[in-house]
Amino acid sequence: MKELYLSMNSAKKHITVSILGASGYSGAMALRILLRHPAVTVEKVFGTSSVGEKVHTLYPSLRGLTELAYEEYSSDKTENSGIVFLALPAGHAMKVVPDMMKAGKKVIDLSGDFRLKDSNQYKEYYKEAHVSGGLLDSACYGMPEIARGEIINTKLLSNPGCYPTTAIIPLAPLLKNGLIEPEDISISSLSGVSGAGRKASVDLSFAEVDGSVKAYRVGDHQHIPEIESVLSAYSGQNVSVNFVPHLLPAVRGIYSTTFVTPKENIGEAVIADAFQNAFDGEPFVRYLGNEIPELKNVVGSNFIDIGWKFDKRKGKLIVFSAIDNLIKGAAGQAVQNMNIMCGFDEKEALIL
Amino acid sequence: MKELYLSMNSAKKHITVSILGASGYSGAMALRILLRHPAVTVEKVFGTSSVGEKVHTLYPSLRGLTELAYEEYSSDKTENSGIVFLALPAGHAMKVVPDMMKAGKKVIDLSGDFRLKDSNQYKEYYKEAHVSGGLLDSACYGMPEIARGEIINTKLLSNPGCYPTTAIIPLAPLLKNGLIEPEDISISSLSGVSGAGRKASVDLSFAEVDGSVKAYRVGDHQHIPEIESVLSAYSGQNVSVNFVPHLLPAVRGIYSTTFVTPKENIGEAVIADAFQNAFDGEPFVRYLGNEIPELKNVVGSNFIDIGWKFDKRKGKLIVFSAIDNLIKGAAGQAVQNMNIMCGFDEKEALIL
Amino acid sequence: MKELYLSMNSAKKHITVSILGASGYSGAMALRILLRHPAVTVEKVFGTSSVGEKVHTLYPSLRGLTELAYEEYSSDKTENSGIVFLALPAGHAMKVVPDMMKAGKKVIDLSGDFRLKDSNQYKEYYKEAHVSGGLLDSACYGMPEIARGEIINTKLLSNPGCYPTTAIIPLAPLLKNGLIEPEDISISSLSGVSGAGRKASVDLSFAEVDGSVKAYRVGDHQHIPEIESVLSAYSGQNVSVNFVPHLLPAVRGIYSTTFVTPKENIGEAVIADAFQNAFDGEPFVRYLGNEIPELKNVVGSNFIDIGWKFDKRKGKLIVFSAIDNLIKGAAGQAVQNMNIMCGFDEKEALIL
Amino acid sequence: MKELYLSMNSAKKHITVSILGASGYSGAMALRILLRHPAVTVEKVFGTSSVGEKVHTLYPSLRGLTELAYEEYSSDKTENSGIVFLALPAGHAMKVVPDMMKAGKKVIDLSGDFRLKDSNQYKEYYKEAHVSGGLLDSACYGMPEIARGEIINTKLLSNPGCYPTTAIIPLAPLLKNGLIEPEDISISSLSGVSGAGRKASVDLSFAEVDGSVKAYRVGDHQHIPEIESVLSAYSGQNVSVNFVPHLLPAVRGIYSTTFVTPKENIGEAVIADAFQNAFDGEPFVRYLGNEIPELKNVVGSNFIDIGWKFDKRKGKLIVFSAIDNLIKGAAGQAVQNMNIMCGFDEKEALIL
């Protein structure tokens, strides 16, 4: 198994990258992973609120691992960076990406700015007009499990959302193979608090969150159109989902329990085959069959664990999926995409 | 509001009770609540594993509130107790209840032993033959919100399960009024760890549970037939549910997110009316309308908080409900039932 | 034991109170407790940031228990209130108390504004000049276990700090009896996050606090002079303490581990006697002798649990104490003081 | 910084190891770390209760990282292993080590069996006679920060306890330089629940631990003689400590707050120099000076973070130290020792 950890052969090529928004949880996680990547040098980290501070001032767990300090972004500072990671709040990437494209950079955007193809839908869910809607079509929705071929050649990679990662990976093969009703999908998801970002808020304080749980943004979460549009495009049919996110009293991870309705005459064997075929060889999908995943097993890793139960009597298939929201749901998937884009071993730096 | 806390007028009558299984979480909670009840004296507490120990040896939080010690149960020790609370593991109540009935006691059973009417179904889900199946018909399923009239006169009260309490109270009015499809109900529930009881188990240890979440017993949980049979009987139709319980990294509480399909032409106003009519005047239902409940608000109380969202476009109504599993989901509901059975104010000792 | 819960005889007299700062955790807890007090009516609740909002908008757990709404404070609104509770941030009470005194109100102040006798010390630790220093002498430090006699007659009661409550109650009898070195006391305390108040702060967010622990404000915490001055005055000698507060990943409670050095020839029996004599009959001290307290046993109660170990070989006595920071450490102790001031049963409304 | 992560040059030599007790938390963590070590092959993992099970059955987070299964130990199965890691409960290592020594294996023992030099003291604290007391003298107490030179040549390495690691590393330079009173040291330590091992116990259940904290084994913990004997030997004087361990509601980590008394005329500068000199160049000590460490920053790493405050007025120096109990406090330190013993880069596989 040693090759999981060390594939120095992939280091023939060496790249230089920068990270915008490295003061947030996802950006800091991207930095942490990239620091261990044998073929990558991180040139600069940018973070508006912490300019001049060493990274370890905000993230003391990184003390001793890097001497980088946060700078204010300007395009000239990333001259040597062939790839730029954007881990900015919604609405910021669309403002800086056009210039980066012109400068010939490759961009890996961890925000939602380039995940939808329809700028009207963007406006509806993100409450802001899209200022570089012309780039939406060329952006590649970077989910390796369904789009590895496109990722290789993209210049603008839109990294999937955390919730959508747990929804799309298991639903994709079921829909693609026509095994389930595409408009009767109910997703109940639980997210750790880091999913809300590093911010000051009474609602996110330990005293309010611990020992509790609550649903939020029912019916209007921006990940609904993301899940629906990606799955519709991938499976060639109109897919519609009911999606209920909940705030879980845990720091990291997303756990999704998805109720779907198999089409008539679809049995367990067909479902098992579809999953098996889809996930066979996938380096970061751990397919558990009829075992039920548990969140802690993926926390700290780039894996998605997937399992399912089919209740024939009730006519419902229930699918379970679990990821670390900051890794497979953000920075890890971003580095996985970078590895694909650069021709590195896809697992490089990601067996954590 | 003072009358919420002190309705001494209800104390005209005074009763004496005993508790079997008072060493478990539900039994100890029943004791805690009964100690504050102005019309109740607790005669004896029984607990096989702790015979001879003061209650506060197991539950130091009760130190100073009672000097009772655990005894080994024998029927002669409850001579003065008109009501006996049973908080025993499944399979034990059915062995002691017949003698108690003969002795003229009233019984409030917190286990699942008398919740199903069909002894075959009992065997299927509880993995044991029912030894007093003849009593199943006479047992009253003690959920005040749907059966207050029957509770008043019962001698054998079967206290509802914790998960079923969160499912049945909000679904009952929807089904009774014919507003939703009775066989397309998907319930995703989260339970705090105390729901598993006070026991030594690696799976329940802090090191395994904290920061995690997992579904369990999908499709074969004993609360499925309870929910289905109670709602079927109450609404006069065949009700079928998909039920997925999860272990939540919290000590107390149950939070249920339920996806149902309104029948054609059913709109928000009709749903709102049904809920409003059902819950109006209910002392322990806090009906939030379109607000979403949060678990912490009910922890430590006998309330159930209920809210809902209707996504017309998707054709799904999503209902949210939250309780404290040990109070409204067990001991609190049991005392509420006792209050009804004894003609006390239903809220007595339950505004915690 | 029933008298613990219901001492209606104390309700001969009936009082009306108001609460300033009822939007914070301590003020809201005071409200919760006072609502259940048979002899108290809460006239008004004030909270600057939530004017016009029902209490249950901020504290949904209180829904159904009160219809009070937050108002902006002005002195004419508390006309009927004989007692005013102040649960304001440091520096606010000293501005409003003089007028309240003139208006003949009794004040119970939960802040630190009147805990020190020396206005210079106040300025040193609270970083602000005291604007009503003339009242410091007349304020009574309201810790029933050491000052019950004075509390009865005070008009300005300064309610003890949460950390000092855990330190002073067990140290007072040791110092008063001259059993330990008064200047070799090291206190390591852990506080739940609610101790920091209800506020938006990255440092208090669940994602930062969960799974962690840290010391803070070592050597300059404002509770140091409070502990020292109260114990010095009480025991008639110069008392000096090393005090290290830590932020605990829990919502409620304070747990203090205190290392003291017994004087020569002081043995276990003398220590045990001193504790026993001091705590005998104290309604809210649960003295455990050589048993070690556990935080959870006091959470939700007004008790302080106290235990100790004496290591003769090492010459150190280690004392353990635990309280609920919002109850015995704030609102509960305040109501206990109110009960004393009003001649009510000291336990009224406080067996929770 | 890349060399932190990849020092392939150290892989010139390649070794094979086995792990006894790999079903416990420390043993499984050793496996996890060794799997990523470029110069190590893990031959076998042993675990009595799980014989025949794949490692990922017990530790699903390791699924996909190893196909090893637990076997029952017999000496012939470790034929190829030059080093054997023992992560067994107390009392087991002393039974198997003599044979391993005879077979020419090097042993790294994570238990307390070889940490004390005095077999009588072993019996007093471990409640069992030592069956291979003759080996105690030859065992090397493997703490790199104080014994790197001896570690290189040892055949029987006794890996330090988790609590002692947090106590000894910061106290060693203070004592060695004669800066503090050697018999006036009070240590208040907090340990995450994983420190108690992977076991079924009501006391360790989430429902009992969450939201709580308690001291335990005050005055008789087996780490007391370990801390005292190691520090006494290292500093050439009689060192005595008061040590109070507490159970923290967190999964991982140890945080120690230590009160010591500087000798007369010792000032801040001298203390700072002693620490600086001791820790300069130490790969896994992050010396923070007057900054206070926070537990979360070391969780998941092999670092110990150390900071301090000196209160001249009170004459007390307070030292803070934090580690991950399973890594720097167990498996990480064990691999660090292995790296030293094998001439590998000391950081190999340990920048996690």
CB contact under 8 A, C305 and B8: no
CB contact under 8 A, A309 and B213: no
For residue A321, give Cα distances in angstroms to A324, B215, D207.
Answer: 11, 10, 26
The answer to whether the beta carbons of residues C309 and C288 sit under 8 Å apart is no
Chains touching chain A through at least 3 C-beta pairs below 8 angstroms are B, C, D
Closest residue by Cα to residue D86 from D150, D30, D21: D21
Instruction: List b or e across D289-323, with b for residues whose CB sees 16 or more CB atoms inside 10 angstroms.
Output: eeebbbbbbbbbbbbbbbbbbbbeebebbbbbbbb
What digits encode the pLDDT tens for the residues C291-333? 999 999 999 999 999 999 998 889 999 999 999 999 999 999 9
| Confidence label for B145 from pLDDT (cuts 50, 70 and 90) | very high
Q: Is A247 exposed, middle or buried, given 0-12, 13-18 or 19+ CB atoms closer than 10 A?
A: buried
Chains touching chain C through at least 3 C-beta pairs below 8 angstroms are A, B, D
The answer to whether the beta carbons of residues D227 and C192 sit under 8 Å apart is no
Which residues of chain B have a CB within 8 Å of the CB of C352? 352
Whether the complex's predicted ipTM is more than 0.90 is answered with yes
φ, ψ dihedrals at C288, nearest 5°: -100, 0
* A300 vs D300, D303, D305: nearest CB: D300
CB contact under 8 A, B294 and C60: yes
The answer to whether the beta carbons of residues B319 and B287 sit under 8 Å apart is no
**C324 CB near a chain B CB, below 8 Å?**
no
Please say whether the dihedral angle defined by the alpha carbons of residues A178, A256, A240 and A156, taken in this order, is positive or negative.
negative
Give the Cβ contact number of residue C58 at 10 Å.
Answer: 18
Q: What is the pLDDT along chain A (352 residues), one digit of tens a residue?
A: 455 554 444 446 899 999 999 999 999 999 999 999 999 999 999 998 899 999 999 999 999 999 999 999 999 999 999 999 999 999 999 999 999 999 999 999 999 999 999 999 999 999 999 999 999 999 999 999 999 999 999 999 999 999 999 999 999 999 999 999 999 999 999 999 999 999 999 999 999 999 999 999 999 999 999 999 999 999 999 999 999 999 999 999 999 999 999 999 999 999 999 999 999 999 999 999 999 999 999 999 999 999 999 988 899 999 999 999 999 999 999 999 999 999 999 999 999 8
The pLDDT of residue B4: 52
**D127 CB near a chain C CB, below 8 Å?**
no
The answer to whether the beta carbons of residues D330 and D162 sit under 8 Å apart is yes
Axis-axis angle for helices B332-342, B144-151 (nearest 10): 30
Residue A305, classed as helix, strand or coil, is strand
Find the mean pLDDT for residues C88-104: 97
What digits encode the pLDDT tens for the residues C121-147? 999 999 999 999 999 999 999 999 999
**D248 CB near a chain C CB, below 8 Å?**
yes
Largest interatomic CA distance in chain D:
63
Count CA atoms within 13 Å of residue B233 on its CB side.
Answer: 15
For residue C168, give Cα distances in angstroms to C187, C231, D81.
Answer: 11, 7, 59
**A14 CB near a chain D CB, below 8 Å?**
no
Site of tokens 């691992």: A65
State the Cα–Cα distance between residues A146 and A126, nearest whole angstrom. Answer: 25
pLDDT of C251 above 80 = yes
Quick one: DSSP state of residue D329?
I
State the Cα–Cα distance between residues B265 and B180, nearest whole angstrom. Answer: 11
**B338 CB near a chain D CB, below 8 Å?**
no
CB contact under 8 A, D60 and A36: no
- How many Cβ contacts (< 8 angstroms) between chains B and D? 66
State the Cα–Cα distance between residues D226 and D116, nearest whole angstrom. Answer: 6
Closest residue by Cα to residue D181 from B89, C261, B50: C261
What digits encode the pLDDT tens for the residues B169-181? 999 999 999 999 9
Give the Cβ contact number of residue C312 at 10 Å.
Answer: 11
Residue B33, classed as helix, strand or coil, is helix
What digits encode the pLDDT tens for the residues A50-70? 999 999 999 999 999 999 999
State the Cα–Cα distance between residues D243 and D259, nearest whole angstrom. Answer: 11
Q: How far is C21 from chain A (nearest CA, A)?
A: 17
Largest interatomic CA distance in chain A:
63
Query: Which residues numbered 178-217 in C keep a CB inside 8 Å of some CB on B?
Result: 210-211
The secondary structure element, H or E, covering residue C188 is strand C180-191
The pLDDT of residue B313: 83
Q: Which two tokens stand for residue B142?
A: 């003690």
Which residues of chain C have a CB within 8 Å of the CB of B38? 2, 5-6
Q: Which residue of A has its CA nearest to D296?
A: A61
Q: Which of A3, A42, A292, A297 to mutate to test the interface with D (most CBs of D within 10 A)?
A: A297
User: In chain B, what percentage of residues exceed pLDDT 70?
Assistant: 97
Which residues of chain A have a CB within 8 Å of the CB of D2? 35, 38, 41
Which residues of chain B have a CB within 8 Å of the CB of C69? none
CB contact under 8 A, A205 and C200: yes
- Tell me which amino acid residue C8 is: M
Rg of chain A on CA atoms, in Å: 20
Q: Which residue of C has its CA nearest to D215?
A: C292
The pLDDT of residue D261: 97
Q: What is the pLDDT along chain D (352 residues), one digit of tens a residue?
A: 455 554 444 446 899 999 999 999 999 999 999 999 999 999 999 998 899 999 999 999 999 999 999 999 999 999 999 999 999 999 999 999 999 999 999 999 999 999 999 999 999 999 999 999 999 999 999 999 999 999 999 999 999 999 999 999 999 999 999 999 999 999 999 999 999 999 999 999 999 999 999 999 999 999 999 999 999 999 999 999 999 999 999 999 999 999 999 999 999 999 999 999 999 999 999 999 999 999 999 999 999 999 999 988 899 999 999 999 999 999 999 999 999 999 999 999 999 8
Closest residue by Cα to residue B136 from B154, B124, B162, B149: B154
Query: How are beta strands A304-311 and A316-323 bridged, if at all?
Result: antiparallel
The answer to whether the beta carbons of residues D349 and D342 sit under 8 Å apart is no
C-beta contacts of C215-218 below 8 A and 24+ residues apart: C215/C244, C215/C245, C215/C246, C215/D257, C215/D292, C215/D318, C215/D320, C216/C245, C216/C246, C216/C247, C216/D292, C217/C245, C218/C244, C218/C245, C218/D292, C218/D309, C218/D311, C218/D318
The pLDDT of residue A48: 86
Q: How far is D147 from chain C (nearest CA, A)?
A: 28
Which residues of chain B have a CB within 8 Å of the CB of A208? 296
Work out the angle at residue D77's Cα, subtended by the Cα atoms of residues D71 and D79, and round it to the nearest 5 degrees: 150
Across chain C, what does the average pLDDT equal?
A: 95
